[in-house]
């Protein structure tokens, strides 16, 4: 990108900015971190598309009587976070997510394996809808106000597409021409864990409050995610999996360091929000710990936070 931006027109700056390369994730303070600085354009960008421009037309479905093991495999193989649940008449009756699976497995008092549990038992997310012709800005506002992470797209009464916060995040990463600072959009109040804490200490936060929990022992050493939690819960219920230790049979006693993702990708508070959004999409993750210049974790940037920039 040219260094003498004063010699460029605004349209030149936009073109150069959109053509910039993907971010380089470098080593910083023991973790991979994104520290970027970009030209701030004078006018605020407003998205001009509709939900139809970002919705995913291919809906992954699962039958209500199919096994939880099959549903979890579908989610894992297709790298998605949720499935649409259909009844025996092939009618849409709900949405089930990784979070629903984990919540159910944490609360279920039986010792059944995943094959013996039906999807309908874990379905907990009500169906939420959005019109295909809704503007992206209005839909983002609706997602924020209702704390949604997905919605079925309606068009003249039919539902043949789905839109998620990932779709909003990807749209923002591809189309926003101006620089916004991560620190202005990140979540500043968050829960942390130590590596020696049992996961029971933070499981409730992951299931009900925030998508991931930074693990900090003086410095950031890892991150606990919903996928980490669901993995250990599923292994206990899957007869084909051999658990690493007897302690894993008591999931709540497993320490954070045993299942956390080490060396998490992070970003700086002054990093470009577009580049951070691109990193979330490219890495298939839901949040980034935000560091200050001393490598202290001062916030979390979640996909849901990106919605603020679209309103």
CATH fold of the domain at 182-310: CBS-domain (3.10.580)
Tokens of 233: 């819960």
pLDDT attached to residue 160? 78
Q: What residue has token string 């997602």?
A: 143
Distance CA 2, CA 16 (A): 8
- Cα dihedral sign for 247, 251, 254, 260? positive
Tokens of 149: 């992470």
pLDDT attached to residue 209? 86
pLDDT attached to residue 154? 80
Enter the DSSP assignment of 56.
Answer: B
- Is-contact 205 190, C-beta < 8 A? no
- Is-contact 123 68, C-beta < 8 A? no
For residue 155, the cross-strand partners are 158
pLDDT attached to residue 252? 65
Which one, of 38, 108, 60, lies nearest residue 268 by Cα?
Answer: 38
- Is-contact 164 54, C-beta < 8 A? no
Cβ density class 30-57: b for 16+ within 10 Å, e for less: ebbbbbbebeeeeeebebeebbbebbee
- Is-contact 66 119, C-beta < 8 A? yes
pLDDT attached to residue 236? 76
Q: What is the pLDDT of residues 236-289, one digit of tens each?
A: 776 555 444 444 456 668 899 999 999 999 999 999 999 999 999 999 999 999
pLDDT attached to residue 45? 66
pLDDT attached to residue 179? 84
Each residue's pLDDT expressed in tens, for the chain with a length of 311 residues: 333 333 333 334 334 433 443 333 333 333 444 544 343 333 466 778 899 999 988 788 999 999 999 999 999 999 888 999 998 888 888 899 999 999 999 888 888 999 999 999 997 667 899 999 999 999 999 999 998 999 999 876 667 789 999 999 999 999 887 789 999 999 999 999 999 999 888 898 899 888 899 999 999 999 999 999 998 888 877 655 544 444 445 666 889 999 999 999 999 999 999 999 999 999 999 999 999 999 999 999 999 999 999 97
- Is-contact 283 289, C-beta < 8 A? no
Domain 51-175 is found in CATH 1.10.1740.10: no
List the domain boundaries for the chain.
Answer: 51-175, 182-310
How far is the first Cα of the chain from the last one, in angstroms, to the nearest whole number?
A: 28
Q: What is the DSSP string of 120-140?
A: HHH--BPP-EEETTSBHHHHH
Contacts of 297 (CB under 8 A, 6+ apart): 192, 214, 216, 220, 266, 289, 290, 291
Alpha carbon of 74 to those of 81, 108, 160: distances in Å?
10, 22, 19
Domains 51-175 and 182-310 share a fold: yes
pLDDT attached to residue 59? 83
Enter the DSSP assignment of 70.
Answer: H
Alpha carbon of 153 to those of 12, 190, 237, 287: distances in Å?
36, 32, 34, 25
Distance CA 23, CA 185 (A): 19
């Amino acid at each position: 990108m040219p260094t003498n931006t004063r010699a460029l027109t605004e349209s030149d700056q936009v073109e150069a900015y959109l053509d910039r390369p993907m971010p380089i994730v470098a080593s910083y303070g023991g973790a991979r971190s994104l520290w970027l600085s970009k030209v701030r354009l004078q006018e605020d960008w407003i998205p001009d598309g509709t939900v139809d421009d970002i919705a995913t037309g291919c809906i992954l479905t699962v039958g209500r009587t199919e096994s939880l093991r099959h549903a979890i495999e579908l989610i894992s193989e297709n790298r998605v976070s949720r499935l649409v649940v259909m009844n025996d008449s092939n009618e849409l009756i709900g949405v089930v997510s990784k979070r629903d699976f984990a919540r159910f497995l944490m609360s279920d008092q039986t010792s059944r394996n995943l094959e013996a549990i039906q999807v309908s038992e874990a379905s907990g997310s009500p169906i939420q809808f959005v019109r295909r012709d809704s503007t992206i800005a209005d839909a983002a506002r609706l997602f924020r106000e209702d704390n949604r992470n997905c919605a079925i797209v309606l068009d003249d009464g039919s539902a043949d597409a789905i839109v998620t916060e990932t779709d909003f995040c990807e749209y923002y990463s591809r189309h926003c021409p101006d620089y916004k600072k991560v620190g202005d959009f990140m979540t500043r109040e968050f829960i942390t864990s130590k590596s020696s804490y049992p996961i029971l200490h933070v499981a409730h936060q992951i299931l009900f409050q925030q998508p991931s929990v930074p693990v900090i022992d003086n410095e950031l050493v890892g991150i606990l995610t919903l996928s980490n939690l669901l993995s250990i819960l599923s292994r206990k219920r899957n007869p084909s999996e051999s658990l690493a230790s007897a302690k894993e049979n008591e999931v709540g006693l497993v320490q954070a360091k045993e299942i956390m993702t080490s060396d998490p990708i992070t970003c700086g508070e002054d990093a470009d929000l577009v580049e951070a959004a691109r990193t979330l999409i490219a890495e298939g993750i839901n949040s980034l710990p935000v560091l200050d210049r001393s490598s202290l974790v001062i916030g979390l940037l979640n996909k849901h936070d990106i919605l603020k920039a679209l309103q």
